Amino acid sequence: MRAVLIVLDSFGLGAARDAEAFGDVGADTFGHIIEAAAAGRADSPERSGPLNLPNLTKLGLFAAHGDYAGQPSEGGKFEGLYGVAQELSKGKDTPSGHWEMAGVPVLFDWGYFPKTVPCFPKDLTDALIDRGNLPGILGSCHASGTEIIERLGDEHMKTGKPIIYTSADSVFQIAAHEETFGLDRLYALCDIARELVDPLGIGRVIARPFVGDNGEFTRTSNRKDLAVLPPSLTLLDKLSKSGHQVISIGKIGDIFAHQGTGEIVKAAGNMALMDATLEAMKRAEDGSLIFTNLVDFDQSFGHRRNIAGYAQALEEFDARLPELRASLKRGDLVILTADHGCDPTWPGTDHTREVVPIIAFGPEIPAGPIGERETFADIGQSIAEHLGLTPLDNGTGFLN
Ligand SMILES: O=P(O)(O)O[C@H]1O[C@H](CO)[C@@H](O)[C@H]1O
Ligand SMILES: [Mn+2]
Ligand SMILES: [Mn+2]
Whether residue 73 is predicted with pLDDT greater than 90 in this model: the reply is no
Is 170 close to ligand 1, i.e. is its CB under 6 Å away? no
Is 97 close to ligand 1, i.e. is its CB under 6 Å away? no
Is 10 close to ligand 1, i.e. is its CB under 6 Å away? no
Number of Cα atoms under 13 Å in the Cβ half of residue 219: 23
Is 96 close to ligand 1, i.e. is its CB under 6 Å away? no
The Cα 56–Cα 42 span in angstroms is 19
| pLDDT (0 to 100) of residue 72 | 85
DSSP per-residue codes, 259-321: SS-BEEE--SSHHHHHHHHHHHHHHPPTT-EEEEEE-HIIIIIITTT-HHHHHHHHHHHHHTH
Whether residue 155 is predicted with pLDDT greater than 90 in this model: the reply is yes
Closest ligand to the CA of 146: 1
Sign of the CA dihedral 195, 197, 199, 204? negative
| pLDDT (0 to 100) of residue 278 | 98
By alpha-carbon position, which residue is closest to atom 2 of ligand 1? 145
**Once rounded to an integer, what is the mean pLDDT over residues 298-312?**
97
Asked if residue 226 lies in contact with residue 165, where contact means CB atoms within 8 angstroms, the answer is no
Closest ligand to the CA of 148: 1
The closest of 2, 3, 13, 19 to 339, measured between CA atoms, is 13
By alpha-carbon position, which residue is closest to atom 14 of ligand 1? 167
**Is there a binding annotation on residue 9?**
yes
**Is there a binding annotation on residue 254?**
no
Give the DSSP letter of residue 182: I
**Is there a binding annotation on residue 318?**
no
| pLDDT (0 to 100) of residue 96 | 97
pLDDT digits (tens, 9 = 90+) for 79-110: 999 999 999 999 999 999 999 999 999 999 99
Is 144 close to ligand 1, i.e. is its CB under 6 Å away? yes
Is 145 close to ligand 1, i.e. is its CB under 6 Å away? yes
Whether residue 129 is predicted with pLDDT greater than 80 in this model: the reply is yes
Using a CB cutoff of 5 Å, list residues around ligand 3, an ion. 298
The closest of 1, 39, 7 to 335, measured between CA atoms, is 7
pLDDT digits (tens, 9 = 90+) for 19-29: 999 999 999 99
Whether residue 76 is predicted with pLDDT greater than 80 in this model: the reply is no
Share of the chain above pLDDT 90, in %: 98
Tell me if the bond preceding 118 is cis, omega within 30° of 0.
Answer: yes
pLDDT digits (tens, 9 = 90+) for 329-382: 999 999 999 999 999 999 999 999 999 999 999 999 999 999 999 999 999 999
The Å distance, Cα 167 to ligand 3 centre, comes to: 9
The Å distance, Cα 129 to ligand 3 centre, comes to: 27
Whether residue 75 is predicted with pLDDT greater than 80 in this model: the reply is no
**Once rounded to an integer, what is the mean pLDDT over residues 125-140?**
98
Average pLDDT of the chain is 97
The Å distance, Cα 396 to ligand 2 centre, comes to: 23
Residue type, 91: G
Atom number of ligand 1 nearest to Cα 208 = 3
CB atoms within 10 A of CB 177: 22
Closest ligand to the CA of 348: 1
Share of the chain above pLDDT 70, in %: 100
**Is there a binding annotation on residue 43?**
no
The Å distance, Cα 341 to ligand 1 centre, comes to: 13
The Å distance, Cα 76 to ligand 1 centre, comes to: 38
**Is there a binding annotation on residue 339?**
yes
**Once rounded to an integer, what is the mean pLDDT over residues 186-211?**
98
The Å distance, Cα 299 to ligand 1 centre, comes to: 7
The complex scores an ipTM of 0.95
The Å distance, Cα 311 to ligand 1 centre, comes to: 20
The closest of 107, 111, 103 to 85, measured between CA atoms, is 103
By alpha-carbon position, which residue is closest to atom 5 of ligand 1? 145
- pLDDT bucket at 181, cuts 50 / 70 / 90: very high
Say how many residues make up the chain: 400
| pLDDT (0 to 100) of residue 68 | 98
Asked if residue 249 lies in contact with residue 290, where contact means CB atoms within 8 angstroms, the answer is yes
- pLDDT bucket at 237, cuts 50 / 70 / 90: very high
Closest ligand to the CA of 11: 2
Whole-prediction pTM: 0.95
By alpha-carbon position, which residue is closest to atom 4 of ligand 1? 145
Residue 140 makes CB contacts below 8 A (sequence gap 6+) with 117, 118, 119, 120, 125, 164, 165
The Å distance, Cα 204 to ligand 3 centre, comes to: 12
CB atoms within 10 A of CB 69: 15
**Once rounded to an integer, what is the mean pLDDT over residues 302-330?**
98
| pLDDT (0 to 100) of residue 161 | 98
Is 219 close to ligand 1, i.e. is its CB under 6 Å away? no
**Is there a binding annotation on residue 378?**
no
Whether residue 397 is predicted with pLDDT greater than 80 in this model: the reply is yes
